[in-house]
């Protein structure tokens, strides 16, 4: 293309670029049909409609407290949920909702001991199963691990055996942080001079935009410039796909606030004290001991994960007492590994096979 | 505990495709410029990533966060005060109301769980009674 041709096509390319950016919010995400099974506060448990259930053990998907769980069901043809339904799983999803100031007092114990615990209970009631598979991603994976490792002194079976008694048969942890002290976040918030409790108290709920800005600041040039430059290049050379770009861009831009108390607990636990790996986390007086995790365990790490670096996940293998432990270590990023364009052919079939082998009566 | 690690190396980088000479001088210039530009961009990205990894940047960011949070709180409290003096419901009032609703919902949820547990117990007791009666009748 000559310089004159490039100049001549620039206005239409700019126009299309503006159109893509301005209409991103209208992209449809999370469109797989589903029904509400249970709600409590902002939390909603969904069940996805399926006509071909082949496996007895249902799946409960749990996403992080930042961003929305629609990443599990991004768009038709690129939806993990759609794939799991085709594989014959009974799929449930817990959505933490969009917290507001009235949720500022929600801590990690509320998410693990109430919301997740009750979502598990309702999943079992709705499916009629006695066990389920718990699939957590990012902070959601850490919450799942905490749930499985939580002491349950009130449960007579637990008191008798000394082991965790949960209805979780299979535990899948996708790009999960356990020890964040080696990450870039720790450089930012790991210093005791940064008073997380004061910030949490002042802000009540940490605005989603602030969390998103911090996440993007991990790779500032890539996130604030290269993404848009590539988009413009794609439009210019005709390789741009609106249906691929817009759902992901919409999902990335949708950031719910983080309840202040849970945020402060997370910073302390993950980036300062290494409390989870050391077994020093207590939720409502009950200790979270990852050694209590004895479920069939699948851990997925991404080599280029800058949000939950692989090194921060690896301690899990020295902590759990599961007999059946599998580790998938793949090239890719924190989100791209599971929701990227290559995931449907790469990690999903492996994930589906792993679950299928362990999901029958 | 046996851990099966299934690791896959990143896909090998494909050798650069042979450059095809463009039809015009302008096209050739653009082709030459693009890799150069991408190189500069990737070096800038690395430099910025190093910059944000510095503890001093972390301190700056943390202080900025604290200041913004404090300013947001002052603004919010001032607005609430103004609204309250005008006898209008402020954000704080709505939050208090929402919290009360949450507490009520928490209690209802626990009551519901108790009711469901009792119903399950009754159902299993009924089944046991029914089975024992049937066994008693059927027994010769």
| CB A65 within 8 Å of CB A139 | yes
- Give the model's pLDDT for residue B16: 47
Residues whose CB is less than 8 angstroms from the CB of residue A203 and which lie 6 or more positions away in sequence, other chains included = A210, A260, B69, B72, B73
Residue A208's pLDDT band (boundaries 50, 70, 90)? Answer: very high
- Give the model's pLDDT for residue B24: 58
Residue A166's pLDDT band (boundaries 50, 70, 90)? Answer: confident
Q: Is the pLDDT of residue B140 over 50?
A: no
* Interchain CB contact of A230 with B (< 8 Å): no
Residues whose CB is less than 8 angstroms from the CB of residue A76 and which lie 6 or more positions away in sequence, other chains included = A31, A32, A82
- Give the model's pLDDT for residue A153: 67
Higher pLDDT among residues A163 and A24, named by residue: A24
Q: Is the pLDDT of residue A320 over 90?
A: yes
- Give the model's pLDDT for residue B28: 67
Range A165-193 average pLDDT: 90
Q: Is the pLDDT of residue A300 over 70?
A: yes
Instruction: Select from B49, B92, B101, B104 the residue whose CB has the most chain A CBs within 10 Å, as the one to mutate to test that interface.
Output: B49
Inspect the interface and report whether the beta carbons of A202 and B69 lie closer than 8 Å. Answer: yes
Interface of A with B in 113-152 (CB under 8 A): 114, 118, 121, 125
Q: Is the pLDDT of residue A360 over 50?
A: yes
Which residues from B are below 8 Å from A187, CB to CB?
Answer: 53-55, 57-58
Inspect the interface and report whether the beta carbons of A220 and B99 lie closer than 8 Å. Answer: no
Inspect the interface and report whether the beta carbons of B70 and A219 lie closer than 8 Å. Answer: no
Structural domains of chain A, ranges and CATH numbers in brackets = 1-27+208-256 (no CATH), 31-206+257-357 (3.40.50.1820)
Q: Which of A7-11, A56-60, A244-248, B99-103 has the lowest mean pLDDT?
A: A7-11
pLDDT in tens, B14-31: 544 444 444 555 566 767
The closest alpha carbon to A112, from A70, A71, A72, A140, belongs to A140
**Chain A residue nearest residue B70, CA to CA:** A202
- Give the model's pLDDT for residue B27: 61
Inspect the interface and report whether the beta carbons of B3 and A326 lie closer than 8 Å. Answer: yes
Range A6-32 average pLDDT: 91
| CB A144 within 8 Å of CB A65 | no
Which DSSP string corresponds to A166-188? -SEEEEEEES--S--TTSHHHHH
Q: Is the pLDDT of residue B12 over 80?
A: no
Inspect the interface and report whether the beta carbons of B62 and A322 lie closer than 8 Å. Answer: no
Inspect the interface and report whether the beta carbons of A4 and B7 lie closer than 8 Å. Answer: no
Inspect the interface and report whether the beta carbons of B2 and A193 lie closer than 8 Å. Answer: no
The closest alpha carbon to A261, from A269, A253, A250, belongs to A269
- Give the model's pLDDT for residue A299: 97
Which DSSP string corresponds to A205-274? EE-HHHHHHHHHHTSHHIIIIIHHHHHHHHHHHT---HHHHHHHHHHHH----EEHHHHHHHHIIIIIS-
Q: Which of A25-39, A228-242, B27-41, B97-111 has the lowest mean pLDDT?
A: B27-41
pLDDT in tens, A266-295: 999 999 988 899 999 999 999 999 999 999
Instruction: Select from B59, B65, B120 the residue whose CB has the most chain A CBs within 10 Å, as the one to mutate to test that interface.
Output: B65
- Give the model's pLDDT for residue B14: 53
Q: Count CB pairs under 8 A between chains A and B.
A: 131
Which residues from B are below 8 Å from A329, CB to CB?
Answer: 5-8
Residue A1's pLDDT band (boundaries 50, 70, 90)? Answer: low
Inspect the interface and report whether the beta carbons of B2 and A303 lie closer than 8 Å. Answer: no
Inspect the interface and report whether the beta carbons of A226 and B45 lie closer than 8 Å. Answer: yes
Q: Which of A148-162, A205-219, A229-243 has the lowest mean pLDDT?
A: A148-162
Range A115-142 average pLDDT: 95
pLDDT in tens, A59-84: 999 999 999 999 999 999 899 999 99
Q: Is the pLDDT of residue B74 over 90?
A: yes
Residue A75 has what DSSP assignment? B
């Amino acid at each position: 293309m000559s310089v004159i041709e490039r100049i001549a096509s620039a206005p239409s390319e700019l126009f299309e670029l503006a159109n893509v950016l301005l209409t991103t919010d209208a992209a449809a995400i999370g469109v797989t049909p589903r029904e509400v099974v249970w709600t409590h506060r902002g939390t909603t448990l969904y069940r996805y409609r399926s006509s071909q259930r082949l496996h007895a053990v249902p799946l409960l998907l749990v996403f992080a407290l930042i961003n929305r769980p629609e990443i599990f069901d991004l768009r038709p043809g690129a939806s993990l949920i759609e794939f799991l339904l085709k594989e014959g799983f009974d799929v449930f999803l817990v959505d933490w909702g969009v917290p507001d100031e009235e949720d500022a007092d929600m801590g990690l114990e509320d998410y693990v001991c109430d919301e997740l615990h009750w979502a598990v209970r309702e999943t079992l009631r709705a499916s009629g199963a006695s066990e389920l598979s718990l699939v957590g991603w990012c902070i959601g994976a850490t919450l799942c691990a905490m749930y499985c490792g939580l002491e349950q002194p009130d449960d007579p079976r637990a008191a008798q055996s000394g082991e965790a008694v949960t209805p979780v048969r299979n535990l899948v942890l996708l790009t999960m942080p356990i020890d964040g002290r080696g990450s870039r976040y720790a450089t930012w918030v790991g210093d005791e001079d940064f008073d997380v409790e004061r910030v949490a108290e002042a802000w009540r709920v940490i605005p989603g935009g602030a969390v998103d800005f911090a996440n993007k600041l991990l790779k500032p040039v890539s996130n604030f410039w290269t993404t848009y430059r590539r988009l413009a290049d794609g439009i210019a050379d005709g390789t741009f796909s609106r249906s691929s770009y817009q759902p992901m861009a919409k999902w990335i831009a949708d950031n719910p606030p983080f309840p202040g108390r849970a945020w402060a607990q997370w910073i302390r636990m993950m980036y300062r004290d290494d409390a989870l790996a050391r077994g020093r986390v207590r939720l409502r007086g009950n200790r979270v001991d990852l050694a209590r995790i004895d479920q069939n365990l699948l851990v997925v790490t991404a080599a280029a994960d800058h949000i939950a670096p692989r090194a921060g996940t690896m301690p899990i293998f020295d902590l759990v007492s599961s007999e059946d432990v599998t580790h998938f270590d793949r090239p890719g990023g924190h989100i791209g590994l599971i929701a990227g364009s290559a995931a449907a052919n790469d990690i999903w079939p492996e994930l589906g096979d792993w679950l299928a082998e362990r999901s029958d009566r | 505990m046996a851990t099966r690690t299934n690791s896959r190396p990143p896909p090998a980088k494909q050798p650069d495709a042979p450059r095809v000479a463009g039809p015009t001088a302008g096209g050739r210039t653009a082709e030459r410029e693009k890799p150069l530009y991408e190189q500069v961009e990737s070096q800038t990205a690395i430099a910025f990533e190093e910059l944000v990894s510095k503890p001093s940047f972390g301190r700056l960011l943390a202080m900025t966060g604290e200041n913004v949070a404090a300013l947001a709180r002052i603004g919010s409290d001032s607005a609430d005060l103004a609204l309250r003096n005008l006898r209008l419901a402020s954000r704080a009032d709505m939050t208090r109301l929402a919290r009360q609703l949450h507490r009520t919902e928490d209690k209802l949820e626990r009551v519901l769980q108790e009711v469901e547990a009792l119903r399950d117990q009754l159902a299993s007791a009924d089944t046991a009674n029914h089975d024992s009666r049937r066994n008693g009748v059927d027994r010769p």
